[in-house]
Amino acid sequence: MSDKAKLHYNGNDYEFPVQQGAIGPDVIDISKLYAETGAFTLDPGFTSTASCESEITYIDGEKGILLHRGYPIDQLAEEGHFLETCYLLLYGELPNETQRAEFEGAITYHTMIHEQMHQLFMGFRRDAHPMAIMVGVVGALSAFYHDSTDIHDPQQREIASRRMIAKLPTIAAMAYKYHKGQPFVYPRNDLDYASNFLHMCFSVPSEDYEVNPVLARALDRIFILHADHEQNASTSTVRLASSSGANPFACIAAGIACLWGPSHGGANEAALNMLAEIGSTDRIPEFIERAKDKDDPFRLMGFGHRVYKNYDPRAKVMQKTAHEVLTELGITDDPLLDVAQELEKIALSDPYFVEKKLYPNIDFYSGITLRALGFPTSMFTVLFALARTVGWISQWREMIEDPKQRIGRPRQLYTGPTQRDYVAPEKR
Ligand code: CMC
């Protein structure tokens, strides 16, 4: 393999260094392209552009592989726990027993939010989408925790990281309770991360609530499956926002805003709404035809991925988790699961989907699972945001610690009017 890429442009020859990663495609380093040739590259949607160097997550989209710090996602999800995965993403290694106890203790004992933040919620309409509340309240953390906004201080970065992992479930549960018109429930430090979240969402002061350990384990696994995913749209948003030196709470709020879109994290809500709209297996052919029709904007939500051209490895674990949750809850006949399974079967054998390599992604089965756990569709993307926070934070920390880090400033292919003179209003 050559370590130089040659470019012939405008009658001149140029050479650019080629870098090899630990695995994955080579990267042509074009950082000096403009300085040497006077030309930019154009790559809308960044399909061929590596925006940074990273040691955190690796995806082989052709083979359907997802590794966190080298560990396959299915092993982490089936054998590990979410806080262990958080530690892995943040610090690069799985924790030993002492490290695990220290980290879990630190997260568990910082779950409460500043009491005055409760008033913030009251400013939102009761029918506000919980993601709108998340964007606002997470951004507002920077107004309450001034001692962890100096990004140049490693200690403050560490405190901000742990604070967000600890407090996001509390904020997410409060967004849910506010939406529902129920009183906020304080966190309980004797519960594990997922159990505490279920407790804050589903317990009410008027009766006892016991967390079902099978459901808590399923939720923990859902968190692991969403923890990080390389340089996706919301992670790139966090990196770009923080490249200007913005504080970490503001940057994570920016990531949450990006995640909300239906092409990204919002797809889990959209996928469940679509399954409900299809309603029964006999209507599937009609929707498959609509998805294939170029003149119809309808897409099969939960299908296709920018990087995976194979079955999303997270979708496989999610499908299994969906079955476990439904079995535990004694739901033997879920019409939406029937629609999902039949839709998957038909789409996977349809030439349109086969040729375009459109496979189910993580969002296809997550909605069914979250709905069975008791969450309304409006909360689905909130749960995604809660779990992805650790990925965003890990990527943010890596970026801040990278000595090559500079403000992100893409350029453009300008196609607007060339210079012209101002015309006075009466002469236009
Ligand atoms: N249904 C029908 N056709 C599709 C679909 C779909 N879900 N996804 C892609 N296509 C077609 C698309 O019309 C295009 O066809 P053609 O080449 O004839 O113009 C081709 O496949 C390539 O699509 P694209 O939009 O150029 O691909 P992309 O990489 O820009 O988009 C995507 C990726 C995930 C946005 C897209 O597949 C999609 O909109 N899927 C539905 C939404 C969804 O499930 N998103 C969740 C992604 S996974 C969770 C996460 O990481 O956030």
Residue identifier of the C-alpha nearest atom 49 of ligand 1: 264
Q: What is the pLDDT of residues 48-75, one digit of tens each?
A: 999 999 999 999 999 999 999 999 999 9
Residue length, the chain?
Answer: 428
Residue identifier of the C-alpha nearest atom 11 of ligand 1: 356
CA distance 225 to 131: 20
Q: State in Å: Cα 192 to ligand 1 middle.
A: 36
Q: What is the pLDDT of residues 374-393, one digit of tens each?
A: 999 999 999 999 999 999 99
Q: State in Å: Cα 244 to ligand 1 middle.
A: 31
The ligand 1 atom at the shortest distance from the C-alpha of residue 364 is 44
The label of the residue with tokens 């009658």 reads 11
Q: Is the pLDDT of residue 25 over 90?
A: yes
CB-ligand 1 contact for 363 (6 Å cutoff): yes
Residue type, 145: Y
- Stretch 153-171: mean pLDDT: 98
- Stretch 14-34: mean pLDDT: 97
Q: What is the pLDDT of residues 343-367, one digit of tens each?
A: 999 988 999 999 999 998 998 889 8
363 is annotated as an active-site residue: yes
Q: State in Å: Cα 180 to ligand 1 middle.
A: 33
CA distance 184 to 161: 24
Q: State in Å: Cα 411 to ligand 1 middle.
A: 26
CB-ligand 1 contact for 301 (6 Å cutoff): yes
pLDDT at 148: 94
192 is annotated as an active-site residue: no
pLDDT at 1: 62
**Of residues 305, 312, 350, 421, which has the active-site annotation?**
305
Q: How far is CA 319 from the centre of its chain?
A: 18
pLDDT at 365: 87
Share of the chain above pLDDT 70, in %: 100
- Stretch 87-104: mean pLDDT: 98
CB-ligand 1 contact for 361 (6 Å cutoff): yes
Alpha-carbon distances of 279 from 336, 346, 364, rounded to whole Å:
7, 16, 15
Is residue 83 within 8 Å of residue 103, measured between CB atoms?
yes
3-state SS track over 123-189: CCCCCCCHHHHHHHHHHHHHHHCHHHCCCCCHHHHHHHHHHHHHHHHHHHHHHHHHHHCCCCCCCCC
* Entry pTM: 0.93
